[in-house]
Amino acid sequence: MEKKSVLIAASGRVSRLPPYLFAELDRKKAAALRKGLDIIDFGIGDPDLPTPDRIVRAGAGALADPAFHRYPRNEGSAFFLDAARSWLSGEFGVEAGEEMGVAAVIGTKEGIAHVPMAFCNPGDVILTPSPGYPVYRAAAILADAVPVDVPLKRENSFLPDLDSLDPSALRSARILYLNYPNNPTGAVMPLDEMKRVVEFARREDLLIVSDNSYSHIRFDGQSPASFLQVEGALPLCLEFHSLSKTFNMTGWRIGFVAGGAGLVKAFMSAKENIDSGVFTAVQKAGAEALTSCGDASATCSRCTPPGGSSSSKA
């Protein structure tokens, strides 16, 4: 019997994905270098300082411990989660009571991408800042949701003009992605504006996904801020914190999410079916970063004057 020829093609959702911006820039950079051109790289951002020695030593010591060679806990080890809670308290005054959940993520890129799988049905709208991190749109598409741009314009200080959004899109909206301090504009969101966003999200029944990867990279002299500081935000917010830029740990792939306990539990119900958590030795390094930064022997972007490191999105 003659075998029937079958064409195996990518799914419709994959075909709707735009090329990943930073991968495209890497290809263009490689082509330019092959031609012998001298280039300045404005692509993916890697801090130009090494990971602080104390963090490296903590990771190396944990790597040699056989107890850490087994599967990690999906939500993260107690010592890492305790360090994350203490860091939130010290940096933002956010106290982790029973109503707040915290979980480790394999870098915030992975965590952000998993959110729509846990909270969206096909056809739901996800509000994505434009310009913004490409993963917000990609995460929507891969969950069969519909990304709708929220323009960030200079005349509005690159803050989202939520009142101008299409009412028909709002009726189907489930998630609002936000990223402040913002990449690529550098804008920051004042606490009063955060309060207004929380009120808007409550009124429109939206989940706020705050990508706070750049919390400590700001140049206005103000203290870092968190949506979790806003009264009433906890039941409708998931906030992601990355150790990549704050602690020069881009390659280690570790961060955490904090928010309403029920939201974190729902998020983890999707995530734990897809991956097996953060390698425990890396969590040891992460816990050291969260507890030791600010010591004179620790050098990272949080305690280095502006200009000492690069801080574009990974």
pLDDT digits (tens, 9 = 90+) for 190-217: 999 999 999 999 999 999 999 999 999 9
Burial class (CB in 10 A: 0-12, 13-18, 19+), 68: middle
The predicted pLDDT at position 294 comes to 54
Give the SS3 label for residue 177: strand
307: pLDDT strictly greater than 80: no
Find the mean pLDDT for residues 4-23. Answer: 82
Q: What pTM value is reported for the model? A: 0.89
* Look-up of token digits 């490296």: 56
Task: Please state the separation of Cα 53 from the chain's center in Å.
Answer: 25
Distances, alpha carbon 89 to alpha carbons 272, 284, 296, in Å: 27, 19, 21
39: pLDDT strictly greater than 60: yes
**24 phi/psi in degrees, rounded to 5:** -65, -40
Q: 34-48, 230-244, 258-272: lowest mean pLDDT where?
A: 34-48
The pLDDT tens digits of the residues spanning 71-83 come to 999 999 999 999 9
199-231 burial, b at 16+ Cβ within 10 Å, e below that, comes to ebbeebebbbbbbbbbbbbbeeeeebbbbbbbe
243: pLDDT strictly greater than 60: yes
Burial class (CB in 10 A: 0-12, 13-18, 19+), 3: exposed
Find the mean pLDDT for residues 92-98. Answer: 93
**Which range in 2-11, 72-81, 295-304 is most confidently predicted, on average pLDDT?**
72-81
Nearest to 186 by CA among 153, 219, 227, 213: 219
Residue boundaries of the structural domains of the chain? 93-278
pLDDT band with cut points at 50, 70 and 90 for residue 26:
confident
313: pLDDT strictly greater than 90: no
* Look-up of token digits 């917010």: 237
Give the other-Cβ count within 10 Å of 307's Cβ. 7
pLDDT band with cut points at 50, 70 and 90 for residue 304:
low
pLDDT-above-90 percentage for the chain: 77
298: pLDDT strictly greater than 80: no
17: pLDDT strictly greater than 80: yes
pLDDT band with cut points at 50, 70 and 90 for residue 312:
very low
* Look-up of token digits 């939130």: 88
Find the mean pLDDT for residues 226-244. Answer: 97
Strand order from edge to edge, sheet including 237-242: 100-105, 255-260, 237-242, 207-211, 173-178, 125-130, 146-151
Domain 93-278: assigned CATH number? 3.40.640.10
Torsion angle in degrees (nearest 10) through CA of 184, 189, 195, 197: -30
Quick one: DSSP state of residue 243? S
Asked if residues 110 and 252 have their Cβ atoms less than 8 Å apart, the reply is: no
Find the mean pLDDT for residues 144-163. Answer: 96
Asked if residues 138 and 288 have their Cβ atoms less than 8 Å apart, the reply is: no
The predicted pLDDT at position 300 comes to 57
